[in-house]
Amino acid sequence: DAGVTQSPTHLIKTRGQHVTLRCSPISGHKSVSWYQQVLGQGPQFIFQYYEKEERGRGNFPDRFSARQFPNYSSELNVNALLLGDSALYLCASSPTADRGRGGELFFGEGSRLTVL
Amino acid sequence: AQSVSQHNHHVILSEAASLELGCNYSYGGTVNLFWYVQYPGQHLQLLLKYFSGDPLVKGIKGFEAEFIKSKFSFNLRKPSVQWSDTAEYFCAVNSGGYQKVTFGTGTKLQVIP
């Protein structure tokens, strides 16, 4: 079975540009979350979507946005890139939005963004 | 806001040594607790999880963790490590808010043959 797939795997942008990262969840998973991992830190929560609705948002500026499509895939968009946005962006899917089992995540390999 | 503290940033052990990685969290309500692991060149994956019930949980590859509510701790243990356990280990907490998970900063474990 295919796991969570993310694209692109690596990309380089310059300050002020825009970036779109894509994620396909595991088949049957309806929840998709996005995390940012800066070198030397643990992943930081950005967004969670379930059934195409935003269910949670982390402490990130409005330059960060996301959406989920009818096939449950998702995009993360970042506008007006800053040097500090350089990080590994992780997508994770989950089969349920059950609060009792919240946090059980299946991660993709990530998209490594470098902002110059 | 909840937070997670991992006590060790880098641990070096010889094969067959015992392992204990500390994890403390700050949240007074009901929590779901996790250890995630990232092997070299691989993606982050779930090692073990606690939702409720028996506070001693067992995961893959002989790992176990104990939830001590009074100490807000969820320490990871393995009686005898192997070279293949070399990886980065992340403790994580979810307070029931859908999938929002707070991760610790990670512990890099290096096992020397």
Q: Which residues on chain B are in Cβ contact (under 8 Å) with A34?
A: none
Q: What is the predicted pLDDT for the residue at A97?
A: 64
Query: pLDDT class for B100, splitting at 50, 70, 90?
Result: confident
Residue A89's pLDDT is 98
Which one-letter DSSP state was computed for residue A62?
T
Q: What is the least distance, in Å, from the CA of B90 to any CA of chain A?
A: 7
Radius of gyration of chain B (CA): 13
pLDDT for B110: 97
Strand duo B10-14 + B107-112: pairing? parallel
Give the length of chain A: 116
Contact by Cβ (8 Å): B69, B54? no
Q: What is the pLDDT of residue A98?
A: 67
Contact: A45, B92; criterion CB under 8 Å: no
* CA–CA separation, A112 and A22 (whole Å): 12
Residue of A44, A43, A36, A40 lying closest to B9 (CA atoms) = A40
What is the average pLDDT across B16-38? 92
Say whether B100 and A45 touch across the interface (CB within 8 A): yes
Residue B29: other Cβ atoms inside 10 A? 7
**A10-13/A111-115 β-pairing:** parallel
- CA B52, A90, A94: angle at the middle one, nearest 5? 40
Best to test chain A binding among B23, B35, B47, B99 (most A CBs inside 10 Å)? B99
pLDDT score of B97:
61
Give the pLDDT band (50/70/90) at residue B96.
Answer: low
Quick check: B44 and A90 CB within 8 A? yes
Return the structure tokens found at B61: 């590859």
Residue A60 identity (one-letter amino acid):
F
